[in-house]
Amino acid sequence: MSDLQIGLVTLGAVLILLVVVFNWWQDRRVRRKMQDKFPEAPADPLMAQLDAERREPTVRIAETLAEKKAEPAVAAEEIDPTSEAVIDVQFPQPVEGEQLIELLRAYLRVETKPVRLFASTVNGEHHAYPNAGDSYVSMQLAVILANRQGPLTEIEWSRLWMAAQNLAQQLDGSVDGPDQAEVMERAQQLDQLCANLDAQVGISLQLRESIATNTVRQVVVSAGFMEYGKQLAWLASSGLPRFTLLFNGKPALNLQSANVDRLDLLLDLPNSPKDEQAFSRMASVGRDLALRLDAELIDDQGQVLTDHYDQDIDQQLYQLYEQLEQAGFKAGASRTQRVFA
């Protein structure tokens, strides 16, 4: 074989290798794009092991399920047709709870707005998640139409619908639900309505010097703040927070910093109980903390907060409470918390 022939053979081998590498690279790039569009959840949304630092699964169907199989089933709340769109899954024959649990784990790992589950037993009960000791004849998936992250999107609805279909196919079941265009229209209407009713009011305490985090915690607890989930909050007699407290812009119970420079009091109006003195109550607590911590109380513009406009702000906020109720969203109620989340 001549040098020319050897060179041509070598060149051909190199070209083939380049084509193979290029195809592999293209395939890998396409796969990555598809994964970006349709990511799989990194963790099982039904498992109870939740890391406080990670984002919770958006399909929230009994995160504590794995540890509660032996406990009585939890009754589901009623579906809210105003703020939720429902996908109905019917089973041709009763399905054991344990089998349904495994199917939910396998097929409902999708990214979407928060979803609530209503599993119907053979006895006509509705459970917030399947119980291993019961049998189920149908299931409904209720997805929130809008929240503070915006309205439900076509992609989110399609993902949930596809997940419900895949689950139903495993049981020879059927899926029924509203038309996508109708769901999208309802989502947009709810989003626009709630955008006009939403309000969060904050004031801040700027400390004159950094103070140890543990010292600040002791001061605010002695002033009357109590633990509420991962936050410190000023609670109403109903047990709901009137307003919450942030350390350096973060929930007080999650703060890792050794010192605190700034405290923020936040009134989340739709999620706090109706109050004729909502702002002045929060401002009064802020002034008390300012004295205890030698801090300056300021508004959201950085100006020193006086009590001159407290009553005017109270009246404005109370009008918003009234408008929320007129729209069907009682401040602090479960359905209101689901939408304004």
Percentage of residues of the chain with pLDDT beyond 90: 70
Considering its fold, how many domains does the chain have in total? 2
Q: Are 152 and 83 in contact (CB under 8 A)?
A: no
pLDDT band at 169 (very low <50, low <70, confident <90, very high): very high
Per-residue pLDDT, 179: 97
- Give the end of a domain, one of 153, 178, 195: 195
Q: Write down the mean pLDDT value for the chain.
A: 83
Residue 59, Cβ neighbours under 10 Å: how many? 24
Averaged pLDDT for residues 194-198: 94
Do 170 and 212 fall into the same domain?
no
Residue 246 lies in a domain: yes
C-alpha 298, offset from chain centre = 30
Cβ pair 73, 125 in contact under 8 A: yes
Does 8 fall in a domain? no
More confident residue, 141 or 108: 141
The answer to the question of residue 31 being in a domain is: no
Summarize the confidence of residues 307-315 as an average pLDDT: 95
pLDDT at 21: 47
Residues 333 and 213 both lie in one domain: yes
Q: Is residue 173 part of a domain?
A: yes
Domain co-membership, 232 together with 181: no
Q: Are residues 219 and 333 in the same domain?
A: yes
Domain's final residue, options 195, 215, 242: 195
Question: Is a pLDDT exceeding 60 seen at residue 79?
Answer: yes
The last residue of a domain, from among 195, 218, 244: 195
pLDDT tens digits for range 6-16: 655 565 555 55
Query: At residue 94, does pLDDT exceed 60?
Result: yes
pLDDT of 255:
74
Q: What is the pLDDT of residue 13?
A: 58
Q: What is the pLDDT of residue 280?
A: 97
Q: In this structure, are 156 and 209 located in the same domain?
A: no
Residue 18 included in any domain = no
Examine the domain organization and report whether 153 and 271 are in the same domain.
no
User: What CATH number does the domain containing 138 carry?
Assistant: 3.30.1400.10
- pLDDT of res. 252: 78
92 located within any domain = yes
Residue 199 has pLDDT above 70, yes or no: yes
Q: Is residue 87 part of a domain?
A: yes
Shared domain for 205 and 191, answered yes or no, is: no
Of 45, 75, 78, nearest to 62 (Cα)?
45
pLDDT for 3 equals 59
Q: Between 238 and 56, whose confidence is greater?
A: 238
- Give CA separation, 105 vs 31, 130, 145, 176, 277, in Å: 23, 11, 23, 21, 46
Q: Are residues 237 and 313 in the same domain?
A: yes
Distances (CA, A) of 299 to 136, 199, 202, 296: 54, 15, 7, 10
> Residue 16: its pLDDT value, please?
58
Q: 24-33, 51-60, 178-187 — which one is most confidently predicted on average? A: 178-187
270 and 325 in a single domain? The answer is yes
What are the backbone angles phi and psi of residue 224, rounded to the nearest 5°? 130, -5
Sign of CA dihedral 324, 326, 327, 328: positive
Nearest Cα to Cα of residue 216 among 243, 241, 253, 242? 253
Across 15-40, average pLDDT: 42
Question: How far from chain centre, in Å, is Cα 288?
Answer: 33
pLDDT the model gives residue 112: 85
Mean pLDDT of 324-339: 95
Sign of CA dihedral 264, 267, 272, 278: positive
| CB neighbours of residue 81 within 10 Å | 11
Q: Is residue 229 part of a domain?
A: yes
Percentage above 70 pLDDT, the chain: 78
Instruction: Note whether 182 and 247 are same-domain residues.
Output: no
| Statement to judge: residues 107 and 237 lie in one domain | no
Kindly indicate the confidence band of residue 18, based on its pLDDT and cuts at 50, 70 and 90. Answer: low
Residue 31 pLDDT exceeds 50? no
Domain limits at 92?
A: 65-195
Is 188 in the same domain as 282? no
The tokens for 67 are: 């540890």
The predicted model gives 80-87 an average pLDDT of 95
Q: Is the pLDDT of residue 60 over 70?
A: no
What pLDDT was estimated at residue 264?
Answer: 97
* pLDDT computed for residue 5 by the predictor: 58
